[in-house]
């Protein structure tokens, strides 16, 4: 895709009509291991609109740009949306200190999420560390459509693993791997893939860029290549396509860049330039 | 948004183009307007200044392209744009139906390229005017036109000859004396100036012992961090120019906008604030109108500082 084609594809911005910009109160902050937490906000209409893989831009005050977070849950019955976050920077540390009733501004849903099955089949979810963020909501949707869902949960250490007790009920199978081997098999996610990948109709992955690049290296020549969707991150300024900051490299010569915020954050893995992407920072500095 | 009786919120910026209010949005912070239109955020605007447009499509710079700084941000987008042909065929017809004038920001590596972009878009329905970007800090050549008075004048005169539409020239602050450049482009036929484009800046990663952004590591600084410097540039320009000035730099609130009008601007462009808050420009405008009402203004220019009382204190 050339730049011009990408622009032409983006000509219709009608998906942004779904985005809400609202003040939302914190309803719950679930502190997890180390700096990890799940924070929920009262935003009933956003909870109704959010689809798996989409994200919201969170703003805690005028002294910073918004930060993007995938919806980890969206519960229309409770009227809440939730985000699984690591307190690694100035803004995420501020979010970690939120108390019940304190407001932030939410802009969303934004972005293009995971494609969902027309017919029930089997899905494999590959989560690396914080990359588990979009998967609880995705699993909800898949399970609700009768899909058999296998969740492979990986991280460097148990403390960085998405908490097994938070995994949704009804998974066909689940397994944990940690690089240090202190919980589950000592392996990276990419080293612990099920032997029979061909049994999966869909493979969804989210994690650090080097993990996703390694995964693509493993799968690109096999039958699963066309069934792999990845959710990626890029340093993002606005979240809705105007700052052009979140450029993601496309593979062919002269193809230019896609915008993570509008054409992603979920991409077919084969549409990206992994040689360049693996070295690209994921967060705004 | 009602105005006080006898208050005229409109702002003429040349060649018969009258902005219905002084709040516009800055080039590079608003795309070609389609995203904001979908989000219901254009109807209130005085004008839209489009993303910088070049003759050929440009893929833009390699990432990372942005970084956050104290009260500001750095960008090195590298003029990613789809090229003038697509702008002419796809965007301009949409703008023709909008209630807001769209001025196309024009960039190039040579005078000829500026002229080609202007000529292609001139007299197309939907194109209300042009803003010459002679000051992009993130591509080779772009800055040269904005830092040397003779080159700035040549570029302006050539574009002037190619269109009868309003021609605004966006000035670089990365110069010894911005008034000298402003003077040159006014003499060469500019109808107004925008002041200022981004300041050259850099962010360092101490952990990696190198700049955060790639290449030379330099980028354009925008946001509240530059407001005091941009206000000084606007006040300086007001002393020497007779044409309208559009003030840019860290406008995030009505107070910011009104300060620019005091300093000598005729209108403002909201920039970086659009990224954090898509309704920033609407809030700026509402606050300005409320201020005008409460202060009983007749025109915005009632606010303007008349300059230093004594010679030599400027």
Who among A13, A235, A248 is closest to B35 (CB)?
A: A13
DSSP state of B58: B
In a domain, B213, yes or no: no
Q: Do B67 and A15 touch (CB under 8 A)?
A: no
CATH number of the CATH domain containing B159: 3.20.20.70
Look at phi and psi of residue B17 and say left if phi exceeds 0, alpha if psi is from -120 to 50, else beta.
beta
Domains of chain A and CATH, by start: 3-13+114-277 (3.40.50.80), 16-110 (2.40.30.10)
C-beta atoms of B38 and A15 within 8 A? yes
Chain B residue with CA closest to A242: the answer is: B31
Is residue B293 assigned to a domain?
yes
- Confirm whether B136 is a catalytic residue: yes
Indicate which of A12, A22, A92, A244 best probes the interface with B, i.e. most B CBs within 10 Å of its own CB.
Answer: A244
On whether the CB atoms of residues B162 and B119 are closer than 8 A, the answer is yes
Residue B37 has pLDDT above 50, yes or no: yes
Pairing of strands A266-268, A80-86: unpaired
Tens digits of pLDDT across chain A (285 residues): 466 556 665 667 889 999 999 999 999 999 999 899 999 999 999 999 999 999 999 999 999 999 999 999 999 999 999 999 999 999 999 999 999 999 999 999 999 999 999 999 999 999 999 999 999 999 999 999 999 999 999 999 999 999 999 999 999 999 999 999 888 888 899 999 998 899 999 999 999 999 999 999 999 998 889 999 999 999 999 999 999 999 999 997 778 999 999 999 999 999 999 999 999 999 999
Interface test with A, best of B275, B279, B282 (most A CBs within 10 A): B275
Residue B275 in any domain: the answer is yes
How is chain B split among helix, strand and coil, in percent rounded to 5?
Answer: 35, 20, 45
Chain A residues in contact with B81 by the CB 8 A cut-off are: 3, 7
Residue B71 falls inside a structural domain: no
Confidence band, pLDDT 50/70/90 cuts, at residue B142: very low
Chain B residues in contact with A241 (beta carbon < 8 A): 31, 35
**B246 inside domain:** yes
**pLDDT tens by residue, B103-138:** 999 999 999 999 999 999 999 999 999 999 998 666
Strands A55-59 and A148-155: unpaired
User: Does B257 fall in a domain?
Assistant: yes
Domain annotation covers residue B85: yes
Q: Give the pLDDT confidence score for residue B144 in this predicted structure.
A: 72
Q: Could you tell me how many CB contacts below 8 A there are between chain A and chain B?
A: 136
What is the pTM (predicted TM-score) of this model? 0.95
**Interchain contact, B66 vs A254, CB within 8 Å:** no
State the residue range of the domain holding B227.
Answer: 11-60+78-200+223-303
Q: Is the pLDDT of residue B231 over 60?
A: yes
| Residue A177, SS3 per DSSP | strand
Q: What is the DSSP string of A201-224?
A: SEEEEES-HHHHHHHHHHHTTSTT
Six-digit token string for A260: 């993570």
Residue B202 has pLDDT above 70, yes or no: yes
Per annotation, catalytic residue among B11, B104, B117, B136: B136
The Cα A207–Cα B228 span in angstroms is 42
pLDDT at position B138 is 61
Q: What is the CA radius of gyration of chain A?
A: 18
- How many CB atoms are located within 10 Å of the residue B1 CB? 11
Nearest to A177 by CA among A197, A196, A192: A192
Instruction: Select the residue of B37, B40, B252 nearest A62 (Cβ to Cβ).
Output: B252
Domain contains B312: no
- Indicate yes or no: CB of A244 within 8 angstroms of CB of B77: yes
Q: Give how many domains chain B has, as a whole number.
A: 1
* pLDDT value of residue B20: 97
């Amino acid at each position: 895709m050339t730049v011009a084609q990408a622009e032409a594809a983006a000509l219709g911005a009608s998906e942004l009509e779904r985005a809400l910009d609202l003040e939302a109160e914190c309803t719950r902050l679930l502190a997890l291991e180390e700096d990890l937490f799940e924070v929920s906000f009262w935003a009933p209409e956003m909870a109704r609109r959010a689809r798996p893989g989409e994200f919201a831009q969170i703003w805690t005050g005028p002294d910073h740009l918004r930060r993007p977070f995938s919806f980890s849950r969206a519960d229309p019955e409770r009227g809440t949306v939730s985000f699984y976050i690591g307190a690694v920077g100035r803004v995420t540390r501020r979010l970690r200190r939120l108390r019940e009733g304190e407001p932030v501004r939410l802009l969303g849903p934004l972005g293009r999420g995971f494609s969902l099955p027309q017919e029930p089949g089997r899905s494999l979810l590959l989560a690396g560390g914080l990359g588990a963020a979009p998967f609880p909501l995705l699993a909800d949707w898949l399970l609700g459509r009768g899909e058999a869902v296998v969740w492979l949960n990986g991280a460097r250490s148990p403390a960085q693993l998405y908490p097994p007790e938070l995994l949704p009920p009804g998974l066909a199978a689940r397994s944990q791997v940690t690089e240090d081997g202190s919980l589950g098999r000592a392996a990276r996610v990419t080293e612990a893939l099920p032997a029979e990948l061909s049994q999966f109709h869909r493979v969804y992955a989210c994690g650090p860029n080097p993990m996703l690049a390694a995964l693509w290296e493993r799968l690109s020549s096999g039958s699963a290549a066309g069934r792999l969707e990845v959710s990626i991150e890029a340093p993002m300024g606005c979240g809705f396509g105007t700052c052009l900051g979140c450029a993601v490299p496309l593979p062919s010569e002269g193809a230019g860049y896609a915008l993570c915020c509008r054409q992603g954050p979920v991409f077919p893995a084969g549409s990206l330039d992994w040689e360049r992407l693996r070295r690209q920072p994921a967060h705004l500095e | 948004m009602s105005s006080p009786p006898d208050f005229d919120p409109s702002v003429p910026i040349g060649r018969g183009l009258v902005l219905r209010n002084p709040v516009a949005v800055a080039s590079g912070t608003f795309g070609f307007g389609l995203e904001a239109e979908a989000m219901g955020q254009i109807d209130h605007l005085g004008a839209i200044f489009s993303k910088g447009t070049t003759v050929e499509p440009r893929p833009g710079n390699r990432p990372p392209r942005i970084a956050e700084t104290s009260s500001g941000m750095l960008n090195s987008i590298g003029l990613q744009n789809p090229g003038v042909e697509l702008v002419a065929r796809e965007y301009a017809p949409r703008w023709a139906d909008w209630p807001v004038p769209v001025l196309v920001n024009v960039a190039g590596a040579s005078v000829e390229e500026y002229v080609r972009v202007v000529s292609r878009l001139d007299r197309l329905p939907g194109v209300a005017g042009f803003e010459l970007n002679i000051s992009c800090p993130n591509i080779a050549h772009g800055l040269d036109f904005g830092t040397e008075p003779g080159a700035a004048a040549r570029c302006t005169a050539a574009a002037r000859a190619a269109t009868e539409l309003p021609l605004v020239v966006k000035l670089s602050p990365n110069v010894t004396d911005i008034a000298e450049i402003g003077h040159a482009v006014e003499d060469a036929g500019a109808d107004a100036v925008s002041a200022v484009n981004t300041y050259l800046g850099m962010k360092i990663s101490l952990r990696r012992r190198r700049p955060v952004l790639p290449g030379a590591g330099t980028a354009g600084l925008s946001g509240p961090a530059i407001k005091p410097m941009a206000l000084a540039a606007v006040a300086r320009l007001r002393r020497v120019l007779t044409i309208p000035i559009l003030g840019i730099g860290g406008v995030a609130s009505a107070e910011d906008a009104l300060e620019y009008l005091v300093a000598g601007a005729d209108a403002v462009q909201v920039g970086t604030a659009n990224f954090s808050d898509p309704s920033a420009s609407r809030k700026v405008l509402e606050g300005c109108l409320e201020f005008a009402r409460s202060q009983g203004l007749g025109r915005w220019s009632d606010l303007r500082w008349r300059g230093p009382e004594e010679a030599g204190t400027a």
